[in-house]
């Protein structure tokens, strides 16, 4: 369970006024499982739909509205990807983690007028599952999600990792969190059976996600595999606030074209590293470099 800063004073998430380009997203919607089949656009849509509902006032039985263009990825003119995301969110059952440790399974998106021929052009009306609304009305822990950063990601795993870190990055007394490998895969929404080895997970999931977050987010992240014997048993995730120079660089990258971003980032410092060697290995290595002067010499 995530530590709750005392500065939040148990204020309800829905009572906080969000800024236009900054979502105040409840932890219960961040710490979800069951989202492994959702695409990049569908994962972003969860935050965007919540953000617009939050601005309009969340309560049971209420309908919310949003300009469909707000759900479209940059550079896409058609609505096909939006329709796919909305339909996926209607089918997907999310498992929420509640503050008391219990879980609740909910359908994120309820009824909407996506296929209604009489709806105003370019506007979507939607609703939430009443069980989800009940959870969100009691939420007291949240993360601040910058909408421009969210929409700039090209990796769905970067979205999930960024949102989880946005909830943690401002903690003053905590700078890392350790997860079991299974917990971390669930947190990122990696499909069961996909990327079975850590090498595959590192290459296809962790490296791209860490690289993007470090490039455009206001905080940095490191991911360290922790081994038991030869097996990776857990993942240690660390974070830090960027200084003014790093923030300027992140803002500059955010405002550049997405085209070529991966190529630009390919030369950055690697943040996924092997665990530090054990004390015994350090001793053995030092003996190899500096032999005992009293040991017999061989001719």
Please check whether residue 71 is in contact with residue 188, taking contact to mean a CB–CB distance below 8 angstroms: no
Q: What is the pTM of this model?
A: 0.82
pLDDT at 287: 55
pLDDT at 263: 74
Q: Which of these, 111, 126, 217, 233, lies nearest to 165 by C-alpha position? A: 217
Distances (CA, A) of 93 to 7, 113, 132, 195: 33, 20, 11, 23
pLDDT at 110: 87
Q: How far apart are CA 80 and CA 252, in angstroms?
A: 30
Report the chain's mean pLDDT, rounded to a whole number.
86
Q: Which of these, 53, 81, 48, 82, lies nearest to 68 by C-alpha position? A: 82
Q: Which of these, 52, 27, 39, 163, lies nearest to 112 by C-alpha position? A: 52
Specify burial of residue 10 (Cβ count, 10 A radius: 0-12, 13-18, 19+): exposed
Q: In sequence order, which residues have a C-beta less than 8 Å from that of residue 91 and are 6 or more positions away? A: none
* Helix/strand/coil for 226: strand
pLDDT (tens digit per residue) in 184-234: 999 999 999 999 999 999 999 999 999 999 999 999 999 999 999 989 999
DSSP state of 19: B
Q: How far apart are CA 220 and CA 176, in angstroms?
A: 12
pLDDT at 118: 78
Of 21-30, 76-85, 106-115, 236-245, which range is least confident? 76-85
* Helix/strand/coil for 199: helix
Cα torsion 94, 23, 222, 272 to 10°: value is 50
pLDDT (tens digit per residue) in 32-73: 999 999 999 999 999 999 999 999 999 999 999 999 999 988
Helix segments in 190-291, DSSP class H: 198-201, 207-216, 244-254, 261-265, 279-289
pLDDT at 279: 54
pLDDT at 283: 54
Of 16-30, 151-165, 210-224, 251-265, which range is least confident? 251-265
Confidence check: pLDDT of 262 > 70 = yes
Question: Bridge partners of 145?
Answer: 23
The three-point CA angle 273-34-15 to 5° equals 95
Q: How far apart are CA 273 and CA 133, in angstroms?
A: 41
Write the DSSP assignment of 252-279 as a string of letters.
HHHTS-STTHHHHHTTSPP-B-PPPPPH
Distances (CA, A) of 110 to 68, 95, 260: 17, 16, 38
Mean pLDDT, residues 102-124:
86
Element (H, E) at 27: helix 27-30
State the pLDDT confidence band at 282, using cuts at 50, 70 and 90: low
pLDDT at 257: 79
pLDDT at 224: 94
């Amino acid at each position: 369970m995530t530590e709750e800063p005392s500065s939040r004073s148990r204020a309800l998430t829905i009572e906080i006024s969000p800024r236009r380009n900054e979502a105040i997203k409840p932890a219960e919607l961040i710490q979800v499982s069951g989202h492994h089949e959702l695409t990049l656009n569908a994962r972003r849509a969860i935050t965007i739909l919540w953000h617009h509902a939050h601005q309009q006032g969340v309560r049971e039985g209420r309908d919310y509205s949003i300009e469909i263009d707000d759900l479209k990825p940059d550079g896409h003119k058609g609505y096909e990807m939006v329709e796919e995301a909305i339909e996926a969110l209607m089918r997907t059952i999310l498992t929420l983690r509640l503050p008391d440790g219990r879980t609740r399974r909910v359908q994120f998106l309820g009824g909407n007028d996506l296929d209604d021929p009489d709806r105003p052009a370019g506007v979507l009306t939607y609703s939430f599952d009443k069980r989800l609304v009940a959870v969100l009305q009691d939420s007291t822990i949240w993360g601040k999600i910058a909408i421009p950063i969210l929409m700039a990601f090209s990796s769905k795993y970067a979205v999930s990792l960024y949102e989880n870190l946005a909830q943690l990055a401002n903690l003053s007394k905590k700078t890392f969190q350790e997860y079991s490998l299974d917990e971390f895969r669930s947190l990122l929404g990696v499909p069961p059976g996909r990327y079975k080895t850590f090498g595959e997970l590192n290459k296809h999931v962790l490296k791209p996600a860490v690289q993007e977050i470090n490039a455009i987010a206001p905080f940095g992240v490191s991911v360290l595999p922790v081994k038991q014997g030869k097996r990776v048993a857990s993942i240690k995730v660390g974070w830090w606030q960027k200084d003014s120079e790093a923030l300027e660089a992140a803002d500059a990258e955010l405002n550049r074209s997405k085209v070529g971003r991966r190529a630009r980032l390919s030369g950055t410092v690697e943040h996924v590293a092997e665990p530090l060697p054990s004390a015994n290995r350090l001793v053995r290595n030092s003996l190899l470099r500096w032999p005992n002067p009293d040991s017999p010499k061989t001719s």
